[in-house]
């Protein structure tokens, strides 16, 4: 079966995207919330991490009970720019029958722009997926979002990849100190600001 060729313009790069019409996806199963009484751990009332999932960028603020960290802190998500806000972009790489996160934020965008045409089939790039909320009023667990190269994934899965990256960055940063944190040590808050017309 011949696949249609489409050209996608991204920055200074034009790529040829092949759209696979025979993709079949199964959504993630609904996650069961673990009751705190059965979890085997006690979440501290003062360890809070808040992710702001904006239309074009994301950021994270946190507070802990650690004596070193008093007050609210913001996580530097882009080391080169020393920025606490990065594009909500993610670059995935095919790994046999699954995909793995290659890069997140500004580094995902830059790495995707530098790829050679021969490398495009190995990678899947998403950016500004929140804009789908403006176009489509019927968002649910079955909603698909299209990558820059034409593959379709469930929106909930792409958002989960992005949130997973942010959580991992926070834990790595905090564990550079003498404190040892896990994601389960925090109460997590996700804010999704409205999209303006």
* pLDDT(182) > 60: yes
Residue 42: pLDDT band (50, 70, 90) is: low
pLDDT, average across residues 172-182: 82
What's the N-to-C CA distance of the chain in angstroms? 41
For the sheet containing 98-104, what is the strand order? Answer: 98-104, 89-95, 123-127
Dist. CA 90–CA 126, nearest whole Å: 5
137 vs 166 pLDDT, higher one? 166
Dist. CA 4–CA 12, nearest whole Å: 23
Residue 17: pLDDT band (50, 70, 90) is: very low
* pLDDT(14) > 80: no
Encode pLDDT of 71-110 as tens digits.
Answer: 777 777 776 666 778 888 899 998 888 888 899 888 888 9
For 113, residues 6+ apart whose C-beta sits below 8 A from its C-beta are 10, 11, 12, 13
Domain boundary assignment for the chain: 65-197
Distance of CA 59 to the CA centre of its chain: 11
* The pair of three-digit structure tokens given for residue 64, joined into one six-digit string: 């802990």
Half-sphere exposure of 122 (CA within 13 A, CB side): 11
């Amino acid at each position: 079966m011949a696949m249609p060729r489409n050209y996608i313009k991204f920055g200074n790069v034009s790529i040829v995207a092949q759209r696979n019409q025979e993709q079949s996806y199964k959504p993630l199963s609904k996650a069961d919330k673990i009751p705190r009484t059965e979890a085997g751990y006690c979440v501290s009332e003062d360890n809070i991490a808040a992710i702001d999932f904006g239309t074009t960028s994301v950021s994270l603020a946190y507070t802990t009970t650690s004596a070193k960290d008093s007050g609210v802190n913001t996580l530097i998500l882009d080391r080169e720019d020393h920025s606490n806000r990065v594009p909500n972009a993610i670059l995935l790489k095919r790994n046999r029958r699954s995909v793995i996160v290659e890069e997140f934020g500004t580094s995902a965008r830059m790495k995707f722009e530098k790829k050679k045409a021969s490398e495009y089939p190995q990678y899947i790039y998403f950016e500004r997926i929140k804009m789908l909320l403006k176009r489509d009023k019927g968002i649910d667990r079955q909603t698909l979002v299209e990558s820059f190269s034409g593959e379709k994934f469930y929106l909930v899965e792409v958002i989960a990849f992005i949130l997973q990256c942010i959580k991992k960055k926070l834990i790595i940063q905090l564990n550079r100190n003498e404190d040892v944190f896990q994601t389960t040590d925090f109460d997590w808050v996700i804010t999704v600001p409205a999209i303006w017309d």
